[in-house]
Amino acid sequence: MKTLSKIYNIIIFAILYFPIVMVIVFSFNSARYTPMEWKDFSFQWYELLFQNEEILSALSVTLEVALISTLAATLLGTTAAIGIHAMNKKLRSAMLTINHFPMVNPEIVTGVAFMLLFVALAVVLPLFKPGFFTLCIAHITFCTPYVVLQIMPKLRQMDRHLFEAALDLGCTPFRAFVKVMVPEILPGILTGALMAFTMSLDDFAISYFTSGSSAQTLSVTIYSMVKRPVTPEIYALSTLMFGTVLVLLVLANIGQIRDIASRKKRAR
């Protein structure tokens, strides 16, 4: 039974990773425009990558949008969570329903809805012409609910008397908030921010409908390439990004495992 489930897991993970390995392998392939046929080992796509204006600008747009929307969503989401937590039951559940909406609504519907809004607004305010600004607005909107959702449970778990104790010991409400409440919910804020960043980087459907020719994210650029043959520079870039994430995650994982080990030791 144990070996059977092990074999099963290995097969599933192998299938899950096979296409990724392919992308990585073909980032070192010298052939161009023949879709995934191996020729020679080469680093040429990595060299060409840093001369490809289209890809580099898409990368910088993607990162800038992700950074801006993460910051804004974290701020908006944290204040929202604290406010919603203080509400009565009815109002709270109404707010949480609104919060859930962008998460369960099909992305394509969210995307076209944004498109309709921005097209209408652009008539009056040129700022809303599809581009960097609209991308940011859209990303902030679909990232914020994840931040709220990560912080709410932390607020629920928090001892209500902590805040009162801080007031009792002479803190102003604001100081009590900064000194007691923020450290308590910080893990939630951080995971929320991390999720927002991931969601923003990963998004395709909503960006597709809200970005204009002036600013395109990587996934939108890749989409326009997938229709014509993909330039292997994209494989090189994806391999680099994947490698970066892999290294970061492995480091975090080692840290967590060490944490567990030391916790176990202390428990003894």
Partner 1 sequence: MKKKTTALAAPFGIWMAIFTIVPIAMVLWFAFTDANGQFTLANVQEIFAFDPSKGETLWEDSFVSTILYSLWLGFLTTVISLIIAYPLAFSISRATERVQLTMVMLVMLPMWMNFLLRTQAIKSLLSESGLLNQFIGLFGFGPLEILNTDAAIVIGLVYDFLPYMILPLYSVMVKIGKSEIEAAQDLGANTFSVFRRVVLPLSVPGILNGITMVFVPSVSTFVISTLLGGSKRMMIGDVIESMFVGEAPNMGVGSALSLVLMVLIFLCMACTRLVDKSDDYEKGGLTL
Q: Of residues 190-229, which lie at the interface with partner 1 (CB under 8 A)?
A: 191, 194-195, 198, 202, 204-205, 209, 218-219, 222-223, 226
Report the distance separating Cα 177 and Cα 106, nearest Å: 37
Query: Using CB under 8 A, which residues numbered 32 to 71 contact partner 1?
Result: 35-36
Smallest distance from partner 1 to CB 206, Å: 11
State the Cα torsion 211-217-223-226 to the nearest 10°.
140
Question: Where does this chain touch partner 1 (CB under 8 A) — which range of 42-50, 53-61, 63-71, 143-151?
Answer: 143-151
Smallest distance from partner 1 to CB 205, Å: 7
Q: Establish if 162 lies at the interface with partner 1 (CB under 8 A).
A: no
Helix intervals (H) in 87-213:
89-104, 107-124, 132-157, 160-168, 173-176, 182-202, 205-210
Please, which residue, 40 or 156, has the CB nearer to partner 1? 156
Report the distance separating Cα 77 and Cα 80, nearest Å: 5
Closest CA to 198 of 39, 37, 70: 70
Please, which residue, 158 or 194, has the CB nearer to partner 1? 194
Q: Establish if 262 lies at the interface with partner 1 (CB under 8 A).
A: no
Name the token pair of 107: 């992305």
Q: Establish if 102 lies at the interface with partner 1 (CB under 8 A).
A: yes
Smallest distance from partner 1 to CB 111, Å: 8
Q: Are the CB atoms for 95 and 87 separated by under 8 Å?
A: yes
